[in-house]
Amino acid sequence: MGIPANELPHLSRLAADYASDFAKVREFFAGDFRDPAALARQAERARARALPRAEVAAVLEEQNANYGCGPETRENIRLLSGENAGAIVTGQQVGLFSGPLYTVYKALTAIKLAGELNRSGPERFVPVFWLASDDHDRDEIDHVILLDQANRREEIRCPTPSPGSHIPASDLILPGDIGDCLRRLRDLTPDSEFKAEICGHLGEAYAPGRSFAEAFGRWLTRLFRASGLILIDPAHPRLKEMAKDVFVREIADGSPSTRKALETTRTLAQAGYDTQVPLHEGILNLFVMEKERRAVRAAESGVLALAKEKPFLFSPNVLLRPIVQDALLPTVAYVAGPGEIAYFAQLKTVYDAFEMPMPVIYPRKSATIVEKKIDHVLRKYGLSVSDIWRRAPGIIGDIAKSRVPGPLDEALRSGRDRLDQDFESLRKEALAFDPGLKESLEQAKGRLSLQWSFLEKKILQAARKQNETAQQQLDKAVNHLYPNQRPQERVFNIVPYLFKYGYGLMDRLDRALPIEAFDHQLIDL
């Protein structure tokens, strides 16, 4: 069961058109994600490229062994080191305990797409997850949000040193009191037969002294161990050395990425689309790490020499990151969320500038988990998930109003109608008698209308009081499905669901998210 993807709340116009009317945005992308021929063309381009496959594979072997990977991942790394395998890539910031649910959906989409392509032809495809460990936006990664046993939203935040500093996630170390986060996670959630095992595994991954990136890698590997998913941490010095040519060209040519992206951004604006990534002339799409991560100015002296000598000090920003990614990997498709789809629209000419083929941008699976107790509430009140999206936060008042007894509701409406009619008759007669009464009449009408609205409000309040159970149930449904008026997948973490349903949840998600479906899926648990 699904909801059309373009009905997802807070979706940009560009992402909505991408999902529902690709022809409108075709000029900004390398191919239609629904077209198998587009994927085949990109696979051929990827195979033809000269890439440091063996060198990258050696780093991947080292990294994934450290995360505790299974034999399926080792085999996929071996395939990637050859000349024929293509990569289905996705990625995300290294959020605490794997971050929001959509991180899991991204990885699952890459795995499923690679599997589907492997079944459809002789070519080989492997799923790759890019750990955005160069990112320094710690506010995005240092917490999880969940509902406690009383249906209240709670935040668990991991303390990190030097608030406000621009330290990349690869250098952010889990503190000694990370165990407090795990204990709070246990305390806030109901007990279950799966909870102890999962808490143990989570504690093994998120151990004091590990970086956020390594902990994330270990936990994601645990979740997808038998899938063959390959993780890549681009902060590795050898990978930076292999990406050096991208850094050097960005510096030496005065940011070709900015010039080309600005041209495309103007075209997007003419087509009526907002810009996802703001651009600044004179600022390169690079950061350099000197105590802290900072942006690089085009006019800086010595930066080019530094990039040639010490590329490990450099990292790309969001605009240049896909170019670095595809300098290392034979990317056929990139699995992207709605925001990423919007910024990839700015990148086609940037790929051209760096003489690389742009991959097909494939939408990640999008979903809302609907547990039985929440489905019961929806059915009881005749609501859908779409209703929750469209009508929150007023839905509770709407339901209360609809539960006012019929005769009382009818009396209110007819009373309001008669009041308007009778007053209008009075108004005509009074003005005919003395036009100077106009202001007094308007004031009186306003007071009468206000008093009637006050009466209606009091009756609705009484209805709400009589339906406190309904209010609590609807509160619960809204909090589960549309927390803080944001899609569930962008707020909640997977761990509390794992506590309830065990690791078998991963198989249930796999079955509930068919690769051929591009609607927003409702997952019944």
pLDDT digits (tens, 9 = 90+) for 400-456: 556 566 566 666 676 666 767 767 777 676 777 777 777 776 777 677 777 777 877
What pLDDT score does 497 carry? 97
C-alpha to C-alpha distance for 468 and 487, rounded to whole angstroms: 26
Q: Which residues contact 467 (CB under 8 A, 6 or more apart)?
A: 399, 400, 403
Q: How does pLDDT run across 296-319, given as a tens digit for each residue?
A: 888 788 899 999 999 999 999 989
DSSP-derived 3-state class of residue 333 = strand
- Tracing tokens 């079955």 back to the chain, one arrives at 511
Residue 189, pLDDT above cutoff 70 = yes
| Share of residues in the chain with pLDDT > 70 (%) | 91
280 and 239 in contact (C-beta within 8 Å)? no
What pLDDT score does 84 carry? 86
Nearest to 401 by CA among 455, 451, 462: 462
Lowest mean pLDDT, pick from 67-76, 376-385, 489-498: 376-385
**Domains of the chain (ranges plus CATH)?**
2-366 (3.40.50.620), 373-488 (no CATH)
C-alpha to C-alpha distance for 389 and 386, rounded to whole angstroms: 5
Instruction: Using CB atoms within 10 Å of the CB of residue 516, give its burial: 0 to 12 exposed, 13 to 18 middle, 19+ buried.
Output: exposed
- The most confident of the ranges 52-66, 168-182, 261-275, 458-472 is 52-66
Strand partners, 362: 335
Average pLDDT (370-397) is 88
Average pLDDT (99-116) is 97
Using N-to-C axis directions, what is the helix angle for 101-120 and 36-48, rounded to 10°?
80
Read off the amino acid at residue 335.
Answer: V
C-alpha to C-alpha distance for 257 and 284, rounded to whole angstroms: 8
C-alpha to C-alpha distance for 135 and 166, rounded to whole angstroms: 9
Q: How does pLDDT run across 194-242, given as a tens digit for each residue?
A: 999 999 999 999 999 999 999 999 999 999 999 999 999 999 999 999 9
- Are β-strands 331-336 and 86-92 bridged in parallel, bridged antiparallel, or unpaired? parallel
State the SS3 of 132-175. Answer: CCCCCCHHHCCEEEEECCCCCEEEEECCCCCCCCCCCHHHCECC
Q: Please give the structure tokens belonging to residue 353.
A: 């500038």
What pLDDT score does 443 carry? 76
What length does the chain have?
A: 525
Using N-to-C axis directions, what is the helix angle for 212-223 and 53-67, rounded to 10°?
80
Gyration radius of the chain over CA positions = 28
Mean pLDDT for the chain overall: 89
Residue 252, pLDDT above cutoff 80 = yes
C-alpha to C-alpha distance for 157 and 184, rounded to whole angstroms: 10
Nearest to 160 by CA among 94, 219, 220: 94
Read off the amino acid at residue 43.
Answer: A
Nearest to 356 by CA among 312, 318, 319, 324: 324
Task: Assign 276 a pLDDT band (cuts: 50, 70, 90).
Answer: confident
What pLDDT score does 457 carry? 77
